[in-house]
A and B are shown apart, each in its own frame.
Chain A
Amino acid sequence: MAEVLLEVRGLTAGYGAGPVLHGVDLDFQAGELLALIGANGAGKSTLLGVLSGLVPPTSGSILFAGRNLTGARPERVVRAGIAHVPQGRRLFATMTVRQNLVLGAYLRRDREVQSDIDRVVGYFPALGDKLQRVAGTLSGGEQQMVAIGRGLMGRPRLLMIDEPSLGLAPKVVETVIEVCQSINRDGVSVLLVEQDVVVALEAADRGYVLENGRIALSGSARELQDDPAVRKAYLGV
């Protein structure tokens, strides 16, 4: 049986005005590409925030590769092997692409950072001649590539990507999602939060549906694609 990478139990969290997450359970096998879908406001980004230590949980537990990360600070989470590619890219806009990538390796002490920049360029050839460009001047698609690349620079075991398709042309969405799949094939587990449910379920192995802060449904991507409730509520067909 595959190794359990991430085990979330009864996770509750919020921002003062009442909880956003109400007891979320999630099981992630090593090597999976998991899609997390749900309406705006369902709590998807909050869940990523709790997993990466940005939002403190009020109850529940997070076990990652056998270690207890419940309430851990972000730097410990990153060191444990979880990288968060936030919604809206959040690049250091006035710094170069290379500087953004190097910052993703901030916690590393090894000397292989340059070879990992090459690896990122291998995934995103479009960035090859833009390493010296100021990140804020790139197109939306290129900025998303840098954001994912920056996440990879920490050599994560789990890469969490929040809505990579936001504001991107259909063709660029395909490219970005295909790269997420190749990163996954190369051994990195990927948690993909995506409003483009069609694209997300095509790419994923399994999916979770978050509704009003609770996991309403989970299953193989194929099961979810065919589920009448999912089709009606999220695919609009």
Chain B
Amino acid sequence: MLELAGVTKRFGGVAALSNVSFTVAEGEILGLIGPNGAGKTTLLNCISGVYRLDGGSITFDGRRLDGLPPHQVARLGIGRTFQVVKPFASMTVRENAAVGALFGSGQAHLAPKAAFSWADEVLELVGLARKARLTVGSLTIPDRKRLEVARALATKPRLLLLDEVMAGLNPVEVDEALDMVRKVHAGGITIVLIEHVMRVVVGVCDRVIVLHMGQHLAEGTPDEVLQDRRVIEAYLGEKYAARRHG
């Protein structure tokens, strides 16, 4: 479904991504992990058209994405969330989701009424239906993350990119959010997610790719990757490894 070949991105003299290649199969949940500053968010920004590549290519359903602006990538069916959530603060939860519906994939000239009805569906899916009429300011952190997912879903993506939507949740809240991810996935959406919370990676990912210093360090099932010595050294730390086996 998605293919990255030799993706390279530099900022000044620093190579944020060097020659990163991988594919995402339709129907998969792929985890993207790695140290802070490894290039994970940069990679999402390259896929979603926020950044232009300095090398390589990105193909979605056989169509080149690199070079397209973000709104066109969104219309092709790729939705994303942002790590630092930026909802429209003065609007309600429902209005925020409706904005996503109005500007999403192939829905030019969608009537406001239709946008609101689609917004209601996605809010139901992420578990925010009861809070639809609240202003965003009154939401807790987990709910703001849910709204971020709802806004991305409202664009009707076939591929959803999630950037740390579980950060700041305790283990039980993570489990609730995982149920949401499973529901979204069950609706036929392919997912790529960035997380530092290993409970997430082990809980839902079919496959994991580890980035380190802008390069592809390891890849495999969650179990394989979390036991990989290079991954423990660069990312997980010995204490985590010990706890996992303790």
Which chain A residues have a beta carbon within 8 Å of chain B's beta carbons?
17, 37, 39-41, 139-142, 163, 166-175, 195-198, 232-237
Report B-chain residues with C-beta under 8 Å of the C-beta of A237. 171
Please state if A40 and B36 are interface contacts (CB–CB under 8 Å): no
Whole-angstrom distance between the Cβ of B14 and the nearest chain A Cβ: 10
26 contacts between A and B (CB under 8 A): A39-B173, A40-B168, A40-B169, A41-B140, A139-B36, A163-B168, A166-B168, A168-B36, A169-B34, A169-B236, A170-B235, A171-B35, A171-B237, A171-B240, A172-B36, A173-B237, A174-B239, A174-B240, A195-B168, A195-B169, A195-B170, A197-B170, A234-B170, A235-B171, A236-B175, A236-B199
Interface majority SS on B: helix, strand, loop or mixed?
helix
Report A-chain residues with C-beta under 8 Å of the C-beta of B240. 170-171, 174
A233 to B173, CA, bound (A): 9
A17 to B135, CA, bound (A): 13
A235 to B234, CA, bound (A): 26
A141 to B35, CA, bound (A): 9
List the 3 closest pairs (A to B, CB-CB), nearest first. Answer: A171-B237, A236-B171, A139-B37
Interface centre among B35, B169, B175 (most CB of A within 10 A): B35
A196 to B199, CA, bound (A): 11
Partner of B36, one of A39, A169, A234: A169
A102 to B141, CA, bound (A): 31
Please state if A167 and B141 are interface contacts (CB–CB under 8 Å): no
Report A-chain residues with C-beta under 8 Å of the C-beta of B237. 170-171, 173-175
Report A-chain residues with C-beta under 8 Å of the C-beta of B198. 170
Whole-angstrom distance between the Cβ of A134 and the nearest chain B Cβ: 13
Please state if B37 and A233 are interface contacts (CB–CB under 8 Å): no
Report B-chain residues with C-beta under 8 Å of the C-beta of A163. 168
Report A-chain residues with C-beta under 8 Å of the C-beta of B172. 39, 232-236
A232 to B175, CA, bound (A): 12
Partner of B138, one of A17, A139, A168, A169: A17
Whole-angstrom distance between the Cβ of B159 and the nearest chain A Cβ: 23
Q: Is B142 an interface residue (CB 8 A)?
A: yes
A173 to B239, CA, bound (A): 10
Please state if A40 and B196 are interface contacts (CB–CB under 8 Å): no
Please state if B142 and A40 are interface contacts (CB–CB under 8 Å): yes
